[in-house]
Amino acid sequence: MDKLVVEGGNYLRGSLPVGGSKNTALPLMAASLLGGGSCTLTNIPNLKDVTTFAHVLRVAGAKVQFDPDTNELDVDASTVDYPEAPYDLVKKMRASFYMLGALLGRVGKARVSMPGGCSWGPRPVDLHIKGVKEFGASVELDQGYVIAEAPNGRLPGGSFKMEPSSVGATINLLLAAVRAKGGSRIENAAQEPDVVVFGEALKAMGAKIEGLGTETIEIEGVDVLDSVDFRNSADRIELGTYMILAAMAGEPGDTVRLNGAGTKFLGNAFRDVFRETGADFTSEGEGADSYVEIAVPDELKPVSITTAPYPGFPTDLQAQWTVLLSQTRGEATVKETIYKDRFRHIPELRRMGLMALQGDGQVDVYGNAELKGATVMSTDLRASVSLVMAGIVAEGRTDVLRVYHLDRGYEELEHKLSDAGIDIRREEYDPQEAEPQRAAELPT
């Protein structure tokens, strides 16, 4: 297994590239199944989740080619003939469940394994299933699989109000509805940029969609969708992660530049609290040549956050914010309203000296923490990057074990950070030796 070894105490300097969005790339790949021909997607990050999902598409019969050097992904969907997403793949990555909508939309039927929970608690898919039923699919559960079928091969369409608003369910329902026979409506739809950009790609393929980025999305089904060449957006969570890191690990008075992303998709809440800490940023453009420049403050102020759907503070940035708070001179609270148990990183960060009090759905973080290096265990994607960040500002050496979690969502992290002045390297280790009894208690 791989681990990351960080020697703390170096400033983050210069510039880092931000890759394409993982959470937008996956629905774009699902969308590419809906046209009968070949789609080319660019700015696709070279991540484990992307290669896993490429495999899911191949199982359905698509021909997929990914060039990690150019970040270009080609999908030839003309050969899709097997409407199934097997357990082996869905258990590796929940987003494989997008195959429910994609296959219903493309071939009128789907047999997709139910995903399990995840390391921070249950993550239901009830809204996905209720939604496709409302759009006219017959659905039954058999041996852990959802078997869905459209009458006479095409969904009639319908109306569905989701509560709470769900990114994944909105994506699945869009996939199912764009080639339906009739019109559909999604109420309380997710307004996340990932949904909007994915919806724009569907529109470029010929889909008729109104209301993207608002609470109500209306879709008029079309008979055929075209192939498309589409550029994926930058990863707003990777950008936010590096902004937080620059603010706390940059040299006071210096600037750090993040290339390949703009701040448009960060949401107001993040932009506002980031500035309240005393850090600042300027930004230019949104495409390939865009950048964000962070001005590192002399001192960070503690600022409390509450996670919320877009444009609220993203749940995918709260673990990183916790580490930033430990470097401020005061006390602030991280409140999680989307996944109340998403705090698996706290016990690991405590082992490095984090002072925090955990309550129901929230953590009070005390500043002035003098973090010390330790051997710590990744538990999920965003938790693992928070451990790396803590290692960067800690004294001494930190070994972050089980970085396969991190590899799902951060492209070339150790290379990007090394190029920006951080002492970090990847090493192989034997889990039997390096992971004491605690290993048995943690999810693999």
Positions that interact with ligand UD1 (CB under 6 A): 23, 26, 95, 123-128, 164, 166-169, 190, 194, 315-316, 338-339
- Closest by CA to 242, choosing from 410, 403, 60, 32, is 410
Residue nearest to ligand UD1 (CB): 168
Strand, helix or coil for residue 385: helix
**Nearest distance from residue 303's CB to ligand UD1, in Å?**
20
Order across the sheet with 255-259: list the strands.
15-17, 255-259, 291-295, 280-284
Distance CA 395, CA 327 (A): 13
Work out the angle at residue 286's Cα, subtended by the Cα atoms of residues 284 and 287, and round it to the nearest 5 degrees: 115
* Nearer of residues 108 and 168 to ligand UD1, judged by Cβ: 168
Rg (CA), the chain: 22
* Nearer of residues 114 and 222 to ligand UD1, judged by Cβ: 114
User: Which residues on adjacent β-strands are paired with residue 186?
Assistant: 160, 217
Q: What is the DSSP letter of 302?
A: P
**Nearest distance from residue 89's CB to ligand UD1, in Å?**
14
* Nearer of residues 191 and 277 to ligand UD1, judged by Cβ: 191
**Nearest distance from residue 288's CB to ligand UD1, in Å?**
23
* Nearer of residues 39 and 197 to ligand UD1, judged by Cβ: 197
- Closest by CA to 60, choosing from 11, 116, 98, 92, is 98
**Nearest distance from residue 330's CB to ligand UD1, in Å?**
28
* Nearer of residues 190 and 390 to ligand UD1, judged by Cβ: 190
* Nearer of residues 307 and 326 to ligand UD1, judged by Cβ: 307
Tokens of residue 296, six digits: 């590192």
* Nearer of residues 11 and 135 to ligand UD1, judged by Cβ: 135
Distance CA 339, CA 349 (A): 19
* Nearer of residues 175 and 371 to ligand UD1, judged by Cβ: 175
Other C-beta atoms closer than 10 Å to the C-beta of 371 total 24
Q: Which parts of 9-158 fold into alpha helices (H)? A: 22-31, 48-59, 87-90, 99-107, 126-134
Q: Cβ contacts of residue 69 below 8 Å, gap of 6+?
A: none
Enzyme catalytic residues: 118
Do residues 365 and 322 lie in contact, with contact meaning Cβ atoms separated by under 8 Å? yes
Distance CA 241, CA 235 (A): 10
Strand, helix or coil for residue 169: helix
- Helix H or strand E segment including 281: strand 280-284
Cis amide bond preceding 193, omega within 30: no
For tokens 């990932």, the residue is 194
- Closest by CA to 365, choosing from 346, 389, 390, is 346
